[in-house]
Amino acid sequence: MKYNLSDSLENPSSLKSGDPMQLPPVLKGGWPIIGHLPEFMHDKGALFYKGYQELGNVFTVNIPKPIVVVTGSEYHQWFYNETDKSLNIAKGYEILKYTIGEVFLTASKEQYKKQRIFLPIIFGRERNLGYLNAMNYEVDVWLDRLGESGEMDIMDEMRLVTRSIAGHAFAGANFRDELGSEFWEAYSDIAKSVSIILPPDWPLPRYKRRDRARAKIRSILGRLCQQRRQAPEAYDDVISLLLNTPLDDGTYLDDQKAADLWLGLIFAGNDTTARQAAWCVLLTLQHPNILARLQTEVEVLNDSIDAMSFRSLPLTFQVIDETVRLKPSADMLLRVTEQEVQVGDYQIPAGWRVVIAAGSSHYLESKFSNPPLFDPDRFSKERSEGKDQYAIMGFGGGGRKCPGMNFAKSEMAIILAKLLRNYDLTLLTPNPKTISVLGGAPRPSPTRISYQRKRSPVHPMQLN
């Protein structure tokens, strides 16, 4: 039975399918057995855009199991509204449970209801002010280490500085001594282990390293939890917050669960922000007119960037928004159908994966003028091409929207503003590419940048 999509948003029961089942059309060109897997691993954004061009808003690709791709604001709204109803987010990210446990993104609807009590506290206004201090301090430490001039791989440097910011913000100013190098070495092993293609329970070397690394991380974080239990008055960080905030039923997290939730926060925001920040720098350097305007904008800043300073950085945040559109770290969002559902003219069986993808949705000409063009001004007040809340999916939406979105944007703004204020940069690697390992989150290919300091360095003072 055919139905109007907008009706289903108000009445989810209308999603029940009729008989016979009409499945979404399958994109042509797949290989026997492995389907569209090679294209998916090479450039899933291009694959999804081709599917949209040839088949419209709802279609299927096989990698090799079927994935239904839905594109367009109405479909995105349905996707978000049906999350934790007919669409299961935890099953969509089940591979991550082997990495970080059942926390936040990977948590069931019931577990997430218990855990979300922490999110408005962790990302509330009072703590955000402290996070800005940590961001300023760690970026200054990083710039001080760079020195007067040299070359750097932008992805490596963004990974280092965002890890320092996350460690400082969520574990306190002494995170270097408390976490140690062992933590970040183990963290790298679990981050590298994630693959949407390979089953997460296969006895592969990458998964053996992951399991050893997770045990090491739990040991390190367990020690930090014990220190905070023994001297609670000495700490005011996210670890102590997780330990000392009661759940709705009056109980408290044990050390292991607190450690898993803390790791989940780091995992959800660290590498994604590093990749996004790297592309902010690269896209800016590839567009000299935008670079010149940004340099003028950040020149008037003080050494410390606070929330009030953000008001004088409209172009900086437009560059961030445009980077999220063109080069999103979270380039697709996954769900699994709990029951048979109908979308448009098609039925989707229970147990199928459904995604929304930047490769198709961020290039809709109905939403964005000249979509392939890097044009930060599209997000200006005068044009406001991003005013449709469902058009951009880089941070998700609905009840499971990324709670750290403002944290991530603030972090990227401070990194970009301070870097351009203090250094002249030159892109040495022409035409950096987007790469993805085993269909995972995309990142820039190895890209070298030269830098030359143009003002006296700010030597950071240790924060209390």
What are the distances in angstroms from CA 260 to CA 166, 315, 385? 15, 37, 38
Report long-range pairs for 230-235 (Cβ below 8 Å, ≥24 apart): 235/172
Q: How far apart are CA 195 and CA 197, in angstroms?
A: 5
Contact 134, 433 (CB under 8 A): no
What are the structure tokens assigned to 321, written together?
């928004």
Q: How far apart are CA 201 and CA 203, in angstroms?
A: 6
Report long-range pairs for 432-436 (Cβ below 8 Å, ≥24 apart): 432/282, 434/43, 434/45, 434/327, 436/41, 436/43, 436/44
Buried/exposed 52-66: b ≥16 CB within 10 Å, e otherwise: beebebbbbbbbbeb
Is 402 marked as binding a ligand? Answer: yes
Contact 243, 229 (CB under 8 A): yes
Report long-range pairs for 108-113 (Cβ below 8 Å, ≥24 apart): 109/84, 112/84, 112/400, 113/248
Which segments are annotated as binding site? 402
Bind-site residues for heme: 402
